[in-house]
Structure 1
Amino acid sequence: MHYIESGAGTPLVLLHAYPVDARMWTPLRVRLEDQARVIAPDQRGLGESSLDGSSAHGLATPPEERLVAEAPSVDVVAADILALLDELELPRVVLGGCSMGGYVATALLRAAPQRVAGLLLVDTKAPADTEEAKAKRIGAAERAEREGTAGWLAEDMLPALLGETTRRDRPEVVATARELIESQPADGVAWAQRAMAQRPDGLRALEEFDGPSLVAVGEEDGVTPPSEARRMVEALPRGELVVLPGSGHLPSLEVPDELASAVRPWLSRIEP
């Protein structure tokens, strides 16, 4: 699994959204690296992490050594993250996730809550998909497999991922988000959509987690709006909420200063 790491201090693992990769966290990572050891992995099939778990994209793996990709599941990605924590000899970390990364974080909570010293959920939600949402995901996965993603995925996703303020006033953020989306491999995009479509409801895992939890949400997020964030805070025994004005679904790109200002004091209170 490919990952980006910088800083020193409390280990903070940040799981990225769909359909981007660990680079979405760079503006936040550099703002926290004087306080935390920030580790941002590319989830399976996205960024530079392979779909079959055998190597990073761009590395030549002989055909006879390639593995068959496992069936799509956020539990598989959570297992990848746990294996990375073992490799890095990190028994406990502060775990953060945005959007799909939040679904993976919840899956990791179900599998190994003792590994999580604190939970940061950014623009994500707990409930499973409706049947309508599942069908939409499967349709997008099939289109990616059939056509690739060039020419349509970024155009479809950007209006939903970025808030109105960003789309109007921050062209450089729009360009960065577009580049991130357009660089993702079609097979990884399809696998991720199928994994998210099958995920279970996550409220129970949140209700059972008694560690410190911070839920951050962009005020302009139409994908997982502030109402979903409040629902998670109500479920978490030690949940705190911060709403970020001027941001949509990706505040680490859209308002990194404001997100860092919310995370820093919360993170300082956590004993890893």
Structure 2
Amino acid sequence: MTSLPLVLLHAFPFDSRMWDGVRDLLKPITFDQRGGDRSPDLVVIADDVVAMLDERGIERAVLGGCSMGGYVAMAVLRRAPERVAGLVLADTRAGADTDEARANRLGMAARVAAEGVGWVPDAVLAGLLGPAPDAAVFGRARELVLGQDPAEVAWAQRAMAVRPDSTDVLAAADVPALVLVGEHDALTPPPLARELAGVLRRGEYVELAGVGHLTPLEAPEAFASAVLGWRRRVGV
């Protein structure tokens, strides 16, 4: 049974279009995570997720996220655990930023605020995608990044910089969970993903071959197949 709604939360610095490749198979609910003029804290996006569930009359959903989207899923779990029936955590981590990572985020936020996003693809995509990305995938990723509002990119970096460690929240979650990671993910590599799966009471681990940090964008069919297979096995 896979009757529960699946909500998928996108990575940084993208929008909900990063899920286009998995829509036909997974039929997810997606939306653009936007901070606007609110205080930079992922809690406000978590509250948006809960409000969206309320608007649709959804009591419980399977909640999935890639990278930053995973952080948002953890924030929802912290705020409203009763709304989460299962978790899909792709290329993400439970821990808070180190001082160095936090400083890098704030530095990027300041530069984007001052210069816009034109420089961002050249700065980040090599580290996000696998070692030999398909030209079409690279082009699509570049297009999505360049289409972002600089103010929102800066907001997201500032919000991620202050997120708390969520290890305790995940360890307490008694719901089925799938941890997905790309074989060549340099930001949240497979050993870290296996550790994350071990934190979860009912966690499963899947590694997707040949890809990096953006598994649903780089390998949408493999990603969707892994999620569908897991949902059928665990019944959510």
| TM-score with structure 1 setting the length | 0.84
Deviation string 1:96-144 (CA, Å, 9 cap, x unpaired) is 0000000000010001111011000000001100000000000000001
What is the correspondence of 1:185-200 to structure 2 with a 5 Å cutoff? 185-200=149-164
Question: In structure 1, what is the equivalent of residue 85 of structure 2?
Answer: 117
Question: In structure 2, what is the equivalent of residue 258 of structure 1?
Answer: 222
Task: Verify: 1:103 aligned to 2:103, yes or no.
Answer: no
The aligned amino acid for 1:217 is V
The answer to whether the 8 A contact 1:117-1:271 is kept is no
Question: In structure 1, what is the equivalent of residue 131 of structure 2?
Answer: 164
Q: How many residues align?
A: 235
Deviation string 1:138-166 (CA, Å, 9 cap, x unpaired) is 0000001111111x101111101110131
- Aligned-residue offset at 1:91: 0.5
The gaps in structure 1 that reach 5 residues or longer are 1-7, 46-50, 52-68
Which one has the bigger helix percentage? 2
Matched-pair identity in % = 52
The gaps in structure 2 that reach 5 residues or longer are none
The answer to whether the 8 A contact 2:4-2:60 is kept is no
- Aligned-residue offset at 1:231: 1.4
What is the correspondence of 1:217-256 to structure 2 with a 5 Å cutoff? 217-256=181-220
Q: 2-side partners of 1:130 and 1:108: how far apart?
A: 22
Q: 1-side partners of 2:4 and 2:20: how far apart?
A: 17
**Higher RCO structure, 1 or 2 (CA under 8 Å, sep 6+):** 2
What is the correspondence of 1:73-88 to structure 2 with a 5 Å cutoff? 73-88=41-56
Question: In structure 2, what is the equivalent of residue 135 of structure 1?
Answer: 103
Task: Verify: 1:39 aligned to 2:29, yes or no.
Answer: yes
The answer to whether the 8 A contact 2:5-2:61 is kept is yes
Q: 1-side partners of 2:25 and 2:210: how far apart?
A: 19
Q: 1-side partners of 2:191 and 2:215: how far apart?
A: 17
The aligned amino acid for 1:106 is M
- Aligned-residue offset at 1:95: 0.2
Q: 2-side partners of 1:231 and 1:271: how far apart?
A: 24
The answer to whether the 8 A contact 2:174-2:201 is kept is yes
The answer to whether the 8 A contact 2:66-2:91 is kept is yes
Task: Verify: 1:14 aligned to 2:8, yes or no.
Answer: yes
Q: 2-side partners of 1:218 and 1:269: how far apart?
A: 21
Deviation string 1:157-204 (CA, Å, 9 cap, x unpaired) is 1101110131xxx10000000000000000000000000000000101
CA RMSD of aligned residues (A): 1.2
Pair member with larger Rg: 1
The answer to whether the 8 A contact 1:148-1:186 is kept is yes
The answer to whether the 8 A contact 1:118-1:270 is kept is no
Tell me which stretches of 4 or more aligned residues in structure 1 moved more than 6 Å: none
- Aligned-residue offset at 1:271: 4.9
